[in-house]
Structure 1
């Protein structure tokens, strides 16, 4: 039978109402929790549900738990700057894990792009998943967030005026399609921190780094896998935007989590 998604809400930092989507397992039993964070300007529905990744993971026996990050999807997007302190997405993640009662080593963790940054920094802040998946992420994307953030802040500042052929055009069109709240997105972008490569020595659990073959938006994924103490790299088809639509992403995730 096809899996169904259930949606509830929890309170993150400063009481922000955040959406939480769940899927699986098909048998109705209790699967191993798998917490997944989506990418920038996206949502759980777009990154994990639409292209079948969540269903594939649920069919493999996992309880797939997918929050919409603040200012994304069905979650609140406050315009008050105090709702976006440094690393607020990590704070939200830690609060969610406490809310769910997930024990160290008792759950899996993964993300795509911004979700990978969030997962990485959440582990460095104390989360202890059994295994970790970092998708759509390279070493420079973790260490050089200021440059990446500046690109998107520029796209927001010029929103509605960016013409085809401009490097920021695709970002503008994606923001339009997702109906991104520009003020909330601006505040959120300014809250995300860099992760120096030396800090990655603290991520010791088995890790899968999976990235599109022509996805260089966040730097080198093979270099990220080489830098992490216990990681392997898997290549899938696609660019940064298209790789998340490929069935191979979900297949690699299932293979890693069940091997």
Structure 2
């Protein structure tokens, strides 16, 4: 479905609904809801546990429209898009699970949707804004003209977005928008501290202890894998179901 935000989203209903609120799943950068959550079995595990699941594609990703300007992909603008998806699905209180970019955006939701977030599970969250180091102008040139960026990190991001074909220009705008609204974690605004899941080989999450300390100092849950392996792993999937079932 598409709501007033214009984002594509799907709602998955369980055969035997329980009393717990729906679960919002937010995917990672240059991916989409199907790849991160349906194909990994997370949606099936949650619906099997009696949960309704809402899976949007972020702007510029999956079946959602590309941004027309960078400001449309700033963190707060995307959070407002996500709230519009929830409103369109008739969801009030909800749990949220986000991975990587999805975790970073999930952090915005207690402010964007006051009083509506119950529990949160964040996997692969970087304690700093990874896109801050991107040369946005060089990234756009790489997408538009094929010019290889001199900076290795920008070149890596360029390769990632160019691999998405016609989605590349929109993804470059997403990077620019997020760069303009860098992640600076304030104390968590929800009623229950988030649960952080980190891969034992995930360099993206190094320093996560600083973020954890803002929400009461709970120890992160460590699971096998690097940044790309955790998402499809059984340990992450099982942790999501267990934590949200508490």
Establish whether TM, by shorter chain, passes 0.5.
Answer: yes
What does residue 62 of structure 1 align with?
Answer: 51
**Number of residue equivalences:** 239
What does residue 11 of structure 1 align with?
Answer: 4
What does residue 107 of structure 1 align with?
Answer: 94
What does residue 215 of structure 2 align with?
Answer: 228
How far apart in 1 are the matches of 2:161 and 2:74? 23
Q: Provide the TM-score with structure 2 as the length reference.
A: 0.82
Distance 1:153 1:249, change over 3 A: farther
How far apart in 1 are the matches of 2:235 and 2:136? 28
What does residue 173 of structure 2 align with?
Answer: 187
How far apart in 2 are the matches of 1:157 and 1:113? 25
How far apart in 2 are the matches of 1:251 and 1:152? 37
What does residue 206 of structure 1 align with?
Answer: 193
Distance 1:118 1:211, change over 3 A: same
Q: Is contact 1:72-1:180 (8 Å) kept?
A: no
Distance 1:64 1:154, change over 3 A: farther
SS at match of 2:7: strand
Q: CA RMSD in A?
A: 2.9
Q: Is contact 2:72-2:78 (8 Å) kept?
A: no
Q: Is contact 1:42-1:178 (8 Å) kept?
A: no
Structure 1 gap segments, 5+ residues each: 1-7
Q: Provide the TM-score with structure 1 as the length reference.
A: 0.79
Residue of structure 1 aligned with 2:85, choices 96, 121, 125: 96
